[in-house]
Chains A and B, each alone.
Chain A
Amino acid sequence: MSEGHQIVCSERMTIEKVESFYTELESALLEHTEIELIAEGVQQCDTASLQLITHFIDAAKQQGHRVTWVKPSESVLNVAELLGLLEPLELTQHITQ
């Protein structure tokens, strides 16, 4: 059962949509202390989007907020791994052994 504010990541989480995604995350940061990133439907993501989420998680932590991933997709995990962002994005526990 989810408790936090849910942000459903877009199927195409790429640079064309990163501006609107930024606005969404920014307002979530102002309004909610617990945020869930629903990422199971993400089929495409890129450096811009993962950079944004990395920064969002850092900012949330600094403010004492909690951000959790819900079912990050293979695409998210693969690109995060290639960019060396698994740890900053707190995705290591989602990697299947």
Chain B
Amino acid sequence: MSIDLSQFHQVFFEESFEGLDIMESNLLALNIAEVDSETINTIFRAAHSIKGGAGTFGFMQISGFTHVLETLLDEIRSGERDIEQEHIDMLLQCVDCLRGLMSDLQAGNEPDMAQADELKIHFEKVLANNSKNSTESENAGEPCVDDKSTSEQGRAGWIVHFIPCEDVLCTGNEPYRMFRELKDLAEAVNGSFEVECHRQSLPKFSEMHPEMCYLSWTIHIRADVELSDIEEIFEWVVDDCDIRYEPLSDSGSDTTVEAVPESLVPEGETSPPLHNNDAVNTDPKVSAAAEDNLKIDSREIDSCEIDRNEVKAKANASVKVTKKSTETTSIRVSIDKIDGLINMVGELVITQSMLGQLGQEFDMSRIQRLQEGLAQLEQNTRELQESVMKIRMLPISFAFSRFPRLVRDLSKQLSKEVDLEMIGENTELDKTVMEKIGDPLVHLVRNSLDHGLECPEERIRNGKTSVGKITLNAFHHGGSIVIEVKDDGAGLNKDRIRDKALEKGLITKDDNLTDGQIYDLIFQPGFSTADVVSDVSGRGVGMDVVKRNITELNGSIEVSSIPGEGSIFSIRLPLTLAILDGQLVKVGNEIYIFPLVSIVESIQLEKSMLNNITGSQYVMQLRNDYVPIICLQDIFNIKTARQDLEGAMLVVVEGDNGKVGVVVDELLGQQQVVIKSLEKNYQKVDSISGATILGDGTVALILDVSGLNTRTSDKKNDSHIHAA
């Protein structure tokens, strides 16, 4: 049996991204004036786990890079070096860089190491500077250490004598893989690695067992590396194999090595005074972190042959496939939710069994029992559905977690002082919605910081504190989730927005707009009132995208603002994308569904409302607005009895390009529908966003309102319906 380690890649990436989040949040929480050792330890453990995992799965780019920053963290946590703001900035850059590298690897692409290499050089420079202890010692004019402690030894490198147990290969512990890690370790600090293989123990060829390991090795690592890092590489085999470490001195190292082969003969009687691995204290936290990092039961490893080559080959193969989809995402679910689900299934099975029994011995006297059973089945199904939907729900803190860093960096860049408050971080939201709302939220926060909040001097002039405040607030309201981005800045300038809209021809002087309508203008493409286009915002690109993204999620966004006090952007989103509140309509014999959120109103057409503009294209006057009319029967080639528009039922819907009136035969009820992807199950169809299965088993198509809207610009020469 062999384990395909690539099956764990996704878990590794997820855990590593979580580790990076932990590093980032703790780095942001670090106060260099009063360093909390536990915070440093947490950052170190996260970096260490990422490095260990990357090494295990053969992502040497990650492990090599992480090693350098881990070294700095190790010096800080051991008190050898004081942490400085520069270190925090560098480590935060590393977090970003690692995220990029990992995203590339996850997508099956070769990571771009340019930034990593640059950072690595920077780190090496910092590490090359004397650490606190050595500087202090030098200043005092005293030698650092009298005796050769572990940390002092091995500055020139290490010799590792590795005599594996005979069955090392059968347990999946590949020596060449360990050596590759040693090589990377050495090369990460510009050192070298040499390996010498000893074959004295090989039996006669006819007597050998090819799965047994008869070879042993002496490895020279000429690099300033910590012994604990080397030991870590051998930690899977340390109990079964003979591993000895010897510090390599600058002079005479070769002579020392020459003496070694004798000691490597398995039956060898004497050994040189080497460092036994047992004699060196390893940090238990480090070991624990390494163990935690690879969440594979060691018993599994022992009992199976792991073909790491296969993993590497697969990793290489995936690199060759460019732009591989990364959409094979997973979700972590608490055991409570799973237990709840199992309970529901148990209930369902009991009800099904009861109904089955009832069916076998059914007579009309038991009709009430049958009805009760069916009601029970309905309840079980509903509860099961709710439980399953809950599995996809994650706390919004997943989306909020990026903002402390974003606000920190941006406020620095803009020379503004900002306090970020996050409320309702445990509010749960569907994972897909959460993933899609991240970018719009980032845009809104950047916008609030850049345009909303005033600079400190201006705030003081306006009688405010110099520190601006941005509040992110999430809460459930009426079956939806509301996310507010609030700032206590200058507020939106209505006059300026109006003037800009006039200048751009978006409105006319005669338009009498409410405050809300004026604020809505900022969501028009290309609209910006910023005088200066900065890196952050001001190009007028973005707010329209924000609105479009939110609309695509069947959500809405509203703005409220008080001059001098600030603005609030309120996003309202459905809790899930899997279920939609829909309005069922009938056209001919077909049933279609409008998302309820896009319906403005439904009316019966009167002749007086209709205006013919070109050919058979009609518009309808709806109060002060003209709304184009389209007929579903024309779009989908459905035969209906209706021949004219007068008296027709019209559903007015609003999409990206404004309102459109859609002629239908009949309005049916409203109901929640489970959305099925048409694209996945069939193919993409214009004007259709998905499908659902109705209670009677028939398939109904869900209309894409924005898609329908674009149809109004098409000339329909073949329309069958005419104004009476």
Of the four ranges (under 10, 10 to 19, 20 to 34, 35 or more), the interface on chain B belongs to 20 to 34
Chain A residues with CB under 8 A of B179:
82-83
Among A14, A48, A85, the residue within 8 A (CB) of B197 is A85
Counting CB contacts under 8 A, is B202 at the interface?
A: yes
A interface residue numbers (CB < 8 A to B)? 12, 14-16, 18-19, 21-22, 26, 29, 43-48, 51-52, 54-56, 58-59, 75, 79, 82-85, 88
Counting CB contacts under 8 A, is B189 at the interface?
A: no
Q: Judging by beta carbons under 8 Å apart, are B169 and A48 in contact?
A: yes
Q: Judging by beta carbons under 8 Å apart, are A88 and B211 in contact?
A: no
Residue among B169, B196, B202 facing the most chain A CB atoms (10 A cut-off): B169
Chain A residues with CB under 8 A of B199:
54-55, 58, 88
Question: What are 6 inter-chain pairs, A to B, with CB distance below 8 A?
Answer: A15-B169, A44-B313, A46-B307, A46-B309, A58-B199, A83-B179
Shortest distance from the beta carbon of B83 to any chain A beta carbon, whole Å = 37
Complex Cα distance A31/B215, Å? Answer: 27
With A44-B309, A46-B174, A88-B197 known, 7 other A-B pairs at CB within 8 A are: A12-B310, A14-B310, A26-B206, A47-B174, A51-B202, A58-B199, A58-B202
- A-contact 0/1 string along B186-208, CB 8 Å cutoff: 00000000111101001011101
Q: Judging by beta carbons under 8 Å apart, are A16 and B202 in contact?
A: no
Q: Judging by beta carbons under 8 Å apart, are B205 and A83 in contact?
A: no
Shortest distance from the beta carbon of A63 to any chain B beta carbon, whole Å = 9
Q: Judging by beta carbons under 8 Å apart, are A14 and B210 in contact?
A: no
Smallest CB gap from A59: residue in B: B205
Counting CB contacts under 8 A, is B74 at the interface?
A: no
Among B170, B205, B313, the residue within 8 A (CB) of A26 is B205
Smallest CB gap from B217: residue in A: A84
Q: Judging by beta carbons under 8 Å apart, are B180 and A51 in contact?
A: no
Q: Judging by beta carbons under 8 Å apart, are B210 and A48 in contact?
A: yes
Shortest distance from the beta carbon of B90 to any chain A beta carbon, whole Å = 32
Q: Judging by beta carbons under 8 Å apart, are B196 and A16 in contact?
A: no
Q: Judging by beta carbons under 8 Å apart, are A15 and B205 in contact?
A: no
Chain A residues with CB under 8 A of B213:
47-48, 51
Q: Judging by beta carbons under 8 Å apart, are A58 and B205 in contact?
A: yes
Shortest distance from the beta carbon of A96 to any chain B beta carbon, whole Å = 19
Q: Judging by beta carbons under 8 Å apart, are A84 and B197 in contact?
A: yes
Residue among A43, A46, A52, A75 facing the most chain B CB atoms (10 A cut-off): A46
Chain A residues with CB under 8 A of B309:
12, 14, 44-46, 75
Counting CB contacts under 8 A, is B175 at the interface?
A: yes
Q: Judging by beta carbons under 8 Å apart, are B305 and A56 in contact?
A: no
Chain B residues with CB under 8 A of A45:
309
Shortest distance from the beta carbon of A62 to any chain B beta carbon, whole Å = 9
Smallest CB gap from B178: residue in A: A82
Smallest CB gap from A79: residue in B: B176
Smallest CB gap from B2: residue in A: A16
Shortest distance from the beta carbon of A88 to any chain B beta carbon, whole Å = 7
Among A19, A21, A22, A43, the residue within 8 A (CB) of B313 is A43
Shortest distance from the beta carbon of B216 to any chain A beta carbon, whole Å = 10
- A-contact 0/1 string along B642-654, CB 8 Å cutoff: 0000000000000
Smallest CB gap from B183: residue in A: A82
Q: Judging by beta carbons under 8 Å apart, are A47 and B175 in contact?
A: yes
Smallest CB gap from B172: residue in A: A15
- A-contact 0/1 string along B300-342, CB 8 Å cutoff: 0000010101101100000000000000000000000000000
Q: Judging by beta carbons under 8 Å apart, are B310 and A19 in contact?
A: no
Residue among B179, B194, B206, B210 facing the most chain A CB atoms (10 A cut-off): B210
Shortest distance from the beta carbon of B230 to any chain A beta carbon, whole Å = 16
Chain A residues with CB under 8 A of B2:
16
Smallest CB gap from B215: residue in A: A51
Q: Judging by beta carbons under 8 Å apart, are B176 and A14 in contact?
A: no
Complex Cα distance A85/B179, Å? Answer: 13
Chain B residues with CB under 8 A of A21:
210
Smallest CB gap from B205: residue in A: A59
Counting CB contacts under 8 A, is B65 at the interface?
A: no
Chain B residues with CB under 8 A of A58:
199, 202, 205
Complex Cα distance A51/B524, Å? Answer: 69
Q: Judging by beta carbons under 8 Å apart, are B215 and A47 in contact?
A: yes
Q: Judging by beta carbons under 8 Å apart, are A83 and B175 in contact?
A: yes
Q: Judging by beta carbons under 8 Å apart, are B211 and A15 in contact?
A: yes
